[in-house]
Amino acid sequence: MTMQVSPSVASLVDRDAFLTGLLQEVTPAQSADWLQELRQGAAHWVRHAVIPNTRDEEWRFTDLSALRQVQFRVDRKLTAVDISGLILPEAVHRLVFVNGVYAPELSAVADLPAGVTVSNLAGLSESENIKKYLAQAENSQEVFTALNTAGMTDAAVVLVAKNVVVESPIQLLFVSVVGENAVISQPRCLVVAETGSSIGFVEDYVTTPETEGVYFTNAVTEIWVGENAEVTHTRIERDGLEAFHVGKTAVTQARDSRYTCHAFSCGGKLSRHNLEIFQTGEQTQTTLNGLTMISGKQLADTHSAIALNHPHGSSKQLHKCIVGDRAHAVFNGKVFVPKPAQLTDAGQLNRNLLLSPKARIDTKPQLEITADNVKCAHGATVSQLEDDEIFYLQSRGINETDARKLLINAFAAEIIHQIPVASLQNNLLNTVNSLKSLSSDS
């Protein structure tokens, strides 16, 4: 499909040299006509867009100038990597991508239950109808989302047929390996749970222990929850400390559906997660649990938006931040309740723990309500470790360092213990305990 540009806007094409360079780098070879048309449409949006800056309200606390200074390259070669320490024992089936390239020898997709498809995009049969889902979620013209679509070469695809219940979680593992050049990878996930189905999956962004260097992960995940279907989604971001990570999760919920997200973020020099929920029918249930844990000079930004457009919807959100050293965390959560969404029940809370006098948090919970028969509440707290709590533990024979770790662990555990994968719970609790910079003031 050729996009027609009117003379009045022709001057706006290629407005941002950095974006244009990225677009030229990520543009793949020709493929199926429908996918090529999808890419060209997204490329059109990218060529008319600019990278957000701090003058944009949605990005005013997140400065992307460091990202613009790096020249990224796409590495389409499959790099050998050891993932033995990254596999979840509970996940019988998994898809693994290395620098955005599907690794079939590391994946496990055999013996799938009837009615369940777990595959990369290229491996799908022609009968699989994903055109009505892929890149069809709301707000697909956002600049980083469009850039991902324009450069899409493959995707992790999970399809669950009507009334099928998947007992064990599915792992989607995205590994970044740094080479001679700064690498950009654009992971794409599509999860579709049809009417009456149920599934849990883990979306994990990691780097290898021996990898240190600059790379950019621009990830997009689209989740479609059918009528009376249930999806439990665990998202883990633990990139290298020199990495840039921009992630988008777009969830579309049909009538009577249930969606739960457990999001954990501790990696990256700069990370951003946009979590967007779109309600398309009555009586949906949405639960969002988040934990950000950063130190050093990291910046982690979480923006969520829940659009409750129909009656009898309910949402519950708890997001926690643990911020040490000179790190900077951002939370902006929006809940929209328009006039038709009567009898909505929405709650939102952001709790933050600052471990250093120079740590920073910017928090902005928002409710925008025009319906007149609802139950909605929101709030935010910012605190430090209390001296009397540390003293109490010391009086019981616990040294100061261990006392601080114990309190931080308890703060984080409220979120981590809700993750329905035991091995991942233990892994994340160990991560909390292993970050020494979080155990004392800087």
Question: Which positions of the chain have pLDDT values less than 70?
Answer: 1-12, 30-31, 126-128, 210-211, 435-442
- Amino acid at position 57, single letter: E
- Amino acid at position 54, single letter: T
- Residue 422 and residue 414: Cα distance in Å, rounded? 14
- Amino acid at position 329, single letter: A
Which pLDDT belongs to residue 438? 54
The answer for residues whose C-beta is within 8 angstroms of residue 129's C-beta and 6 or more apart is none
Which pLDDT belongs to residue 126? 65
- Residue 148 and residue 140: Cα distance in Å, rounded? 10
pTM > 0.85 = yes
- Residue 270 and residue 319: Cα distance in Å, rounded? 18
Whether the CB-CB separation of 156 and 170 falls below 8 Å is answered with no
Domain ranges of the chain: 79-385
**176 forms bridges with which residues in the sheet?**
207
- The pair of structure tokens assigned to 89 is 């024992």
Question: CB burial class (10 A; 0-12, 13-18, 19+) of residue 15?
Answer: middle
